[in-house]
Amino acid sequence: MSAQAIGTNLLTQRIYLDHAATSPMLPQAREAMIEGMLRWANPSSPHAEGRAARAALEDARTRIKATLGWQGHVIFTGGASEALGIAMRLAKGGRRWRSSVEHDAVLRAAPDAGVLPVNGEWDVDFDAVRDALAVGDRPVIAIQWVNPETGKVQPIERYAPMIAEGGGVMVTDASQLWGLNRFPREGDLIVLSAHKLGGPIGVGALLVGDLALLEASGGQEFGYRGGTENLPAVLGFAAAVEAWGARRTAMPDAERHHEMMDLHRTLKSYGAHQLMGYGEYVGNIRALAMPGLSAAAQLVRFDLKGFAVSAGSACASGTLKPSRVLQAFGVDPDVARRTIRVSMGWSTTAEEIRAFTDMWIDIAADAGARAA
């Protein structure tokens, strides 16, 4: 069976609702990668083949910038985790700070960073950000745009001017861009991931407002990372970004993800607890707690019934430990233990959401009957 047939079979036989972990590759991205594989030369080579590869690479960079409306630079990386690492390690500045709900890659890159708590509304505490800026040593502050476990959107449009005026450098993890129809141009260093958008795994980008913000480390990509650029993946990345751009133009937020809202309203009447604070949330991610059944038990039952869901971030869910992110948001430990994440993407249909809703009700009813 061909790879395409295997992928098609998996998508048609099962219902995939784990797009926040990774999204199936878009047809446009696959086609772009095939084109890239035909351009096999090293983009840094001076001969004609290398120049042709370089031209394709730079064209992809230009297309991504045009779609996002980004006026700065784009550094291609091996993924969002690498991009976050470059930002946190190489940004010129003093003390590193991070919100308490950042991705694990930020913690690994800056293990000694100061921690900015979230408030009762699940926003990063503004007073804590001001206190970090008051130190006056050009702090580097990481604030994630969309949380992958809950879908909470941080109001970075408010943090960005505060950090800029305070002389700091802002790092914005925008990996979960798919669920919104706008792009956060306010940040100094912005991180993107291809495979969250329907592009290939293993490629991401660090968007840099001014290269003077970073210490060059040598190598490729303007001297900020080592390794030959992965041209097929970059071309697939560009195609996925353009598909997102076309989609956001065709489908405003007000008309998007209404199936997920119906899911929330329906399951609430059956005892589901949706984890939410205040403010804005993306429409494609829902954190749902089921009465009387642990997240691990739910995942097994859903998987056996043909549904792919998860319990928190894919980078940490394999640890079987309580989610530190949910703890940081102040979620009751018992509720956190019973919480799974449902996330939709470009391939999700209304019928699949309705099927998941019915299955959730069946599993919850069975768990309740067993407990009775």
Q: Which residues are catalytic?
A: 315
Element (H, E) at 171: strand 169-173
C-alpha pair distances (Å), 52 with each of 38, 42, 102? 11, 9, 39
174, 190 Cβ separation under 8 angstroms: yes
Distance CA 249, CA 242 (A): 11
Distance (Å, whole) CA 250 – CA 187: 26
**Secondary structure (3-state) at 217:** coil
Residues 316-340 as b/e (b if ≥16 CB within 10 A, e otherwise) read: bbeeeeebbbbebbebeeeebbbbb
Instruction: Give the up-direction half-sphere exposure of residue 195: CA atoms within 13 A in the CB hemisphere.
Output: 15
CA-to-CA distance for 184 and 174, rounded, in angstroms? 8
Is residue 296 within 8 A of residue 133, CB to CB? The reply is no
Buried-state track 129-152, b at ≥16 Cβ within 10 A, e below 16: beebbeeeebbbbbbbbbbbbbbb
In terms of Cα–Cα distance, which of 184, 178, 193, 194 is closest to 239? 194
Q: What is the CA radius of gyration of the chain?
A: 21
